[in-house]
Amino acid sequence: MDKNLFTLDQLPTGTLGKVRGLAANGTIRRRMLDLGLIHNTAVMPLIKSPAGDPIAYEIRGTVIALRSEESSQIIVELIQQ
């Protein structure tokens, strides 16, 4: 995988990434698309829960929480460190 490509769950907190693809299928893929996780969408991990899962992300001006099983299926490119 390219050195600037990560799964969303690996993106460091406070950094900005852009969605480059989804590895999910079926209803999980549909849910991600409905949440606005389409190609070139900016996403930023904001805060982890005390247990580390889920993580709050800012996506299109909205904060949503995703579990690692979902966020590990979203491929992002790091655009800000």
Domain range enclosing 67: 5-80
Total-model pTM: 0.87
Residue 22's domain is classified under what CATH number?
2.30.30.90
Number of domains in the chain: 1
The answer for residues whose C-beta is within 8 angstroms of residue 28's C-beta and 6 or more apart is 70, 73
Q: What is the pLDDT of residue 17?
A: 95
pLDDT at 81 over 90: no
User: Do residues 30 and 37 make contact, with C-beta atoms less than 8 angstroms apart?
Assistant: no
34 vs 31: CA distance, rounded Å: 5
How do residues 61-74 score in pLDDT, each as one tens digit?
Answer: 999 999 999 999 99
- In this structure, which amino acid lies at residue 55? I
How do residues 22-50 score in pLDDT, each as one tens digit?
Answer: 999 999 999 999 989 999 999 999 999 88
Mean pLDDT (the chain) is: 91
